A and B are shown apart, each in its own frame.
Chain A
Amino acid sequence: MVTIADGRYDLPDELYYSKNQHVFLNLKKKIIGLDQIGYAFLNNPTEISLLVEDEIKAGLPFVAIASEQGVTTLNAPCSGKIEKFNEKALEDMEYDTYANGFIIKLKDISDIAPTLITGENIESWAINEAKTLLRSNYSFKIIEIGDTAVGKTAIKVRFTDNYFKKDLKTTLGVDFGTKEIKTSYLSTDLLFSGTYRFTARMNVWDAAGQDMYDKIRGIYFKDAKGALICYDINNPLSFNHLDKWVSDLEENLGKVPTLLIGNKSDLERKVSRQEGLNYAIKHGFLFIECSAKTGENVDGMFEKLAIEIFKKEENLA
C-alpha cells in the first residue's frame, strides 16, 4: 500500500493505474474503478453512466461521470468483456473505492495499456498528482518578542486590524491577534518546480517585553512555528539586548524561521540598516525594517515569514 499526503490517500501497489485519469485496474479481481485521488478530483460526483454495451476497448471512453464541474469521461485501461456494471459505484467510491466502489467487473482482460503504472512507480507519481489537489490551509503560531516599548503590540495591531494607536499601554502577560493571509511560494526545485499557493492563519502571540515577565514568558512559546524578534531603530539599547531574546527563543523553540525586525523606521535612525542586517545574517534570520506607524513593510514581512515556515513544514527548503 502506498500512502501519501499525510495519510489522505491510499493506493494499493498491486493495482495498475492510468496516469492522467486515475483509473485503476485490479487484475486479480478483474475490476476497474477510480483511485482515491481521481475520486477527489471529481469533486462531488452525482451520476455515473456506462457508455458502451458489453465490451470495453483499451484507450477508449467507457463511462461518464457527472459532477459539479461537468462531465468527465474515463478511458478504459484495457480491453475485455463486461460482466457487471456497478450502478451504485458512486455511493461507495468515497470510502471503499478499491472494493465495493468499483465501476465495472470484467469477464476477461486483454490489451492492457502499456502506459499503466504500478508497484514502485506509484509513489512519486501520486505525490505529484496530490500536490495540485491538496487544499493548503495552514495555521501558524508566531511568537513576537523584544524589549518593552519597541512596538510589538503596535506591529501586531497594524497587521491584524491595520491601524495605529498612539498611546498603547504596555502589554500585561500576553496579547493575541490573528489574521489569515493568502500567499504563494515559487519553487525552482528540479522535481517539483512550480507555484505553491497556500493560506496561512497567523496566530500572533505578542509577549510582554518588560523584565518582570522574564520568568513566565517561556510558556507562551509553546507550539510556535516562527518568531518575530523586534528592536527599535531609534533606540540602540533595544538593539544591544537582542542576544537575550535570541537565547530565549532558542531555549524554548530551538531553530525556527525567524524574522528580525527593526521597527519605527519613521523615526530618526540610531541603529544603521547594515548593523541590523549583519546581526540577522549571523543568526540565519530574515531581516526587515518597518514602521507600525506608517504601515511600511508590515504586511510584507508577515508574508515572508509565512513562506519560510511553509517551506520548512513541507520540506521544500
Chain B
Amino acid sequence: MSNVTEDNSNLVFNRFTPKNLTPKQCSFIQKILKKYILGMFICKKGGDILYSYQIEHTLKIDLISNFIAALSMFGEENVGQIKRIFIEGINIEMNIVSKNDLILVSLFRPNMIKDHLEDEAKKILNKFYSLYKVQIEQGKTNLSIYLKFDDEMCHFILGYLTRIGAYKENYEELK
C-alpha cells in the first residue's frame, strides 16, 4: 500500500491493502479495473448504502441506491428480474443482485467481460452478510463498521480477474 504513491485518489485499491501483491502487480490491476469498473455498492433494501467504493466520482451513487431500492420495493421478484440496467447516453451498465435484505449494485462499462459476474456478485453479497449479520440485523448504518470489507473485496476482485483471465494473461506482459 505504501508503495503505490502515484495519484491513487481514485483507484480501486486506494483503501485496500492487498497483502499478496507486489506494488507493481497492484498498480497494474488498478489500471485494468479503472478501464471497466466505475464503482460498486452494497445497500439495504431501504436504500442506505453500507459499503461502497467508487472509481468514477461523478456518479451520484447515493441517489442511485435510493432509486434502485425504490424499484425493488415493488416486490421481491421485480428487482430479481431486473438483472441489468443499461443507461444510454452515459454508457454505463449496472448489475443488480439482491439477497438477505441487501442489494449489491456494480456499475461498469458495457465493454467489460460479464462472464461469471452474477455469480461473483452473489458470493460477495453472501460473504458480506455472513460477516456482518448481527450489525445488519440491528440496522446499524455507521459506515465505519463495514469498512473492513475492503480486505474481502480485494480478494474477490483478484479472484474475478483471474477467473475471467484478465489477470494472468496480462500479468505476463507486465514482466
Contact = CB atoms under 8 A, between A and B. Distances in A.
A6 B44 contact: no
A184 interface: no
Interface of B: 1-2, 17, 19, 44-50, 60, 62-63, 66-67, 69-70, 73-74, 132, 134-135, 139-145, 147-148
Interface in A100-142: 134-141
B141 A138 contact: yes
14 contacts: A6-B140, A6-B145, A44-B2, A135-B147, A174-B70, A176-B63, A176-B67, A178-B62, A203-B47, A220-B70, A222-B69, A224-B46, A225-B139, A313-B142
Q: How large is the interface on A (under 10, 10 to 19, 20 to 34, 35 or more residues)?
A: 20 to 34
Nearest to B140: A6
A141 B48 contact: yes
Nearest to A204: B66
Nearest to B144: A135
A226 B47 CA distance: 14
Given A46-B2, A219-B73, A141 B46 contact: yes
A70 interface: no
A185 B69 CA distance: 30
A223 interface: yes
Contacts of B147: 135
A205 B147 CA distance: 25
A203 B61 CA distance: 12
A140 B60 CA distance: 17
B3 to A, nearest CB: 10
A174 B48 CA distance: 16
A14 interface: no
A44 B14 CA distance: 13
A139 B147 CA distance: 14
A316 to B, nearest CB: 13
Contacts of B60: 178
By CB atoms of chain B within 10 A, which of A95, A140, A223 has the most? A223
A296 interface: no
Given A139-B48, A139-B49, A205-B70, 5 more contacts: A7-B134, A8-B148, A201-B62, A219-B74, A223-B48
Contacts of A178: 60, 62-63, 66
B45 A222 contact: yes
Contacts of B47: 141, 176, 203, 205, 223
Contact of B143 (A137, A173, A176, A220): A137
Top 8 A-B residue pairs of the complex, sorted by shortest distance between their CB atoms: A223-B46, A222-B46, A139-B48, A176-B66, A219-B73, A135-B144, A178-B62, A137-B143
